[in-house]
Structure 1
Amino acid sequence: MIQQALKDDPKLKVVYKHYPGEKPGSKFAALAALASIKQGKYDAFHHALMATSGQLSEFDILTIARQVGLDVEQLKRDMKDPALENLLERNRAVAKELYIDGTPGVVLGLEVMPGVPNIHKLERLIAKEREINRRAASPTSAF
């Protein structure tokens, strides 16, 4: 749904925040995705991971990394960067504050939703948020 919304609306900006769940491999996948930024392959890797259904093992994650052109040995070294673990901890804290307890989750303006809404609802929420922002940005007169 997010990819469809981005395709339909080039002005839309999406910010991904990795928040690994409890499933085995979830934290490994999040660290690998974040580490892939150093090789300039984040988008391809992230989308390949998201397109895969079911639970992924570490082997599966590294296979996908290789398929999108990542240097897997470098990726493994980059995953050990303590800054990535710190980032995941900060993301967990934000998720907790927003009462997000699973993935995926969507935050759009003041709306916090578990999962990803269908494309029609997502488009309505985007339009609503843009209208709120447009009103807030337009000069008003008290006279």
Structure 2
Amino acid sequence: MIQLEFIQKIDISERPFKGSKEAPVTIAVFSDYQCPYCARLEPVLQQVLNKYPKDIKIVLKHFPLPMHKFARKASAATLAAAKQGKFWQFHEETFKNLRTLNDAKVQKIAQELGLNLEQFNNDLKDPAIQKRINEDINNGRQAGVRGTPAIFVNGKLLKNRSLAGFQRLIELELKKTSTTSR
């Protein structure tokens, strides 16, 4: 039996990432801040990053689902926080509060993280932030994303989102890079 594997082009330029900038393996995560499955994935992503600190880069792509009424605003808030160097802190707090997200909660998170609230609120209105979210959504749709979380490892869809599933695909990708770099 022949099994075809599609490699999707995922735009990771100027997107928030964790890990090594020059990593041979890129994990692109399409996520929604009101998705409980996305929130449950966070500790697994941290375990993967701890295991492969120099070999992987985890990139976040915004994919707010229409059924989650505050997800798009939450995405905008994390991007506004990024302008003050607090993307990942805001990201973590947003997931911790996914069931109670609203405008007041977003303001409280911004305040607790020590953001300049005037700048934060102005940045929330920046059309470039909405453009970035739309680009991520369009990129996800082109890659076949219909739900969250959707994870791509070097452009390949990861179906098994367990630590073992990540390790298997990362190890395969690392073997490829070690054989092509000789």
TM normalised by structure 1 equals 0.85
Max Rg structure = 1
Cα deviations across residues 63-121 of structure 1 (Å, max 9, x unaligned)? 2222222233321110111111111111111100111122222110232146x711111
2:46 & 2:164 partners in 1: Cα distance?
13
Residue 6 of structure 1 deviates from its aligned partner by: 1.0
**More helix as a share of residues:** 1
What aligned pairs does 1:83-102 form with structure 2 within 5 A after superposition?
83-102=128-147
Unpaired runs of 5+ residues, structure 1, are 139-143
Moved more, 90-99 or 128-137: 128-137
1:134 & 1:117 partners in 2: Cα distance?
24
Partner of 1:8: 51
**Runs of at least 4 residues of structure 1 off by over 3 A?**
none
The answer to whether the Cα contact below 8 Å between 1:41 and 1:69 also exists between their aligned partners in 2 is no
Residue 61 of structure 1 deviates from its aligned partner by: 2.3
Q: Secondary structure at the match of 2:157?
A: strand
TM normalised by structure 2 equals 0.68
**More strand as a share of residues:** 2
Partner of 1:103: 148
1:42 & 1:110 partners in 2: Cα distance?
24
Please, what is the CA RMSD of the aligned residues?
1.8
Partner of 1:141: none
Unpaired runs of 5+ residues, structure 2, are 1-43
State how many pairs are aligned.
137
The answer to whether the Cα contact below 8 Å between 2:158 and 2:165 also exists between their aligned partners in 1 is no
